[in-house]
Amino acid sequence: MVGFAHSLLLLLQYPDFTKLTENTSSSTLFTGDSTELKIQQDFDRTEDNPAKYFITSFLSTYNWLSGNFLQQDAWNFWPVKVITFIGSILLVTILQNMFIAFMGGVFTKAYEKGHVTFLRFCAALILDYEALDEIYFSPPSPEPKYIYYIDKSISYNEWEMVERNLTYEDDDDSSESEKQNETTSVKEFNNEVKKEKEKEIIITERDNKVVKEEDININELNKKINDLNNKINDNNSRNDELNSKINKLFNAINGKFEI
């Protein structure tokens, strides 16, 4: 807009130098007395020039947005018509659409912000309502004791396989530890038996006869054997208890899903 105003200022500021002709109107009136009256517009080339100063040129160019083409109406000059035509396309069509799009974006942002504010206000109201104590004229219905969730059988089967693998891993670990304990206990028992056997008999020769200096302590050996058997029985009972718990767990899970 400033460029158009400046170009029109250069073209129209000195109309006598460029020998411009103004657009004036004249009319003729005829009366009943056969009298002819001619009326011609008085145009001052300096005072009525819309491009006399830069401010007036800018204001007259700005009036193009409202459809007033003062330069074209004042002067009969083809460059003015060309500039006015180009300016009407650029300023009136493009700039107005840009302004409309800008204002539309502003309204869109305002709508989004207003919608967010409205949602926050609704959330605050809901929070205030939920914070109030409810008054019951009759005793409220009890809450459910159990929550039953029915899902696809595929997910249950996957969960069951994972749980079984975990329990089998635990059983393997426990069985390995029990086996290690049993092997160590057996080794210890064998070592003790060897030591007892070494201490058991000391053969001395007296008159070419074998004399037993120490008797075998049978009671101690029997006690150790009984202790070892008790340990093995305890491990077996623990395995039985673990298996029974696993079976109860799977039965309970199957019963819930059947419900």
**Residuewise pLDDT in 10s, the chain (259 residues):** 667 665 666 666 656 656 666 555 555 656 666 566 565 555 555 555 666 666 776 767 766 666 566 565 566 667 777 777 777 777 767 777 787 888 888 888 888 899 899 999 988 888 887 777 666 677 767 777 777 666 666 666 777 777 777 765 555 555 555 556 656 665 676 677 666 666 555 454 454 444 444 455 666 777 778 888 888 877 777 777 787 877 777 777 766 554 4
- Report the amino acid identity of residue 28: T
Counting Cα atoms < 13 Å in the Cβ hemisphere of 94 gives: 7
What pLDDT is recorded for position 118?
Answer: 92
Residue 40 DSSP class: E
Contact between 49 and 9 (Cβ < 8 Å): no
Sign of CA dihedral 237, 238, 243, 245: positive
In angstroms, rounded to a whole number, what is the distance separating the alpha carbons of residues 29 and 233?
A: 139
For 253, other C-beta atoms within 10 Å of its C-beta total: 14
Strand partners, 30: 36
In angstroms, rounded to a whole number, what is the distance separating the alpha carbons of residues 90 and 2?
A: 13
What pLDDT is recorded for position 5?
Answer: 67
* Residue whose C-alpha is closest to residue 84's, from 177, 194, 31, 7: 7
Does this model's pTM top 0.85? My answer is no
Give how far the C-alpha of residue 172 lies from the chain's centroid of Cα atoms, to the nearest Å.
Answer: 44
Counting Cα atoms < 13 Å in the Cβ hemisphere of 14 gives: 3
In angstroms, rounded to a whole number, what is the distance separating the alpha carbons of residues 180 and 174?
A: 10
Classify 18 as helix, strand or coil.
Answer: coil
Tokens of 249: 């767990």
What pLDDT is recorded for position 106?
Answer: 83
What pLDDT is recorded for position 86?
Answer: 76
Give how far the C-alpha of residue 8 lies from the chain's centroid of Cα atoms, to the nearest Å.
Answer: 56
Contact between 73 and 43 (Cβ < 8 Å): no
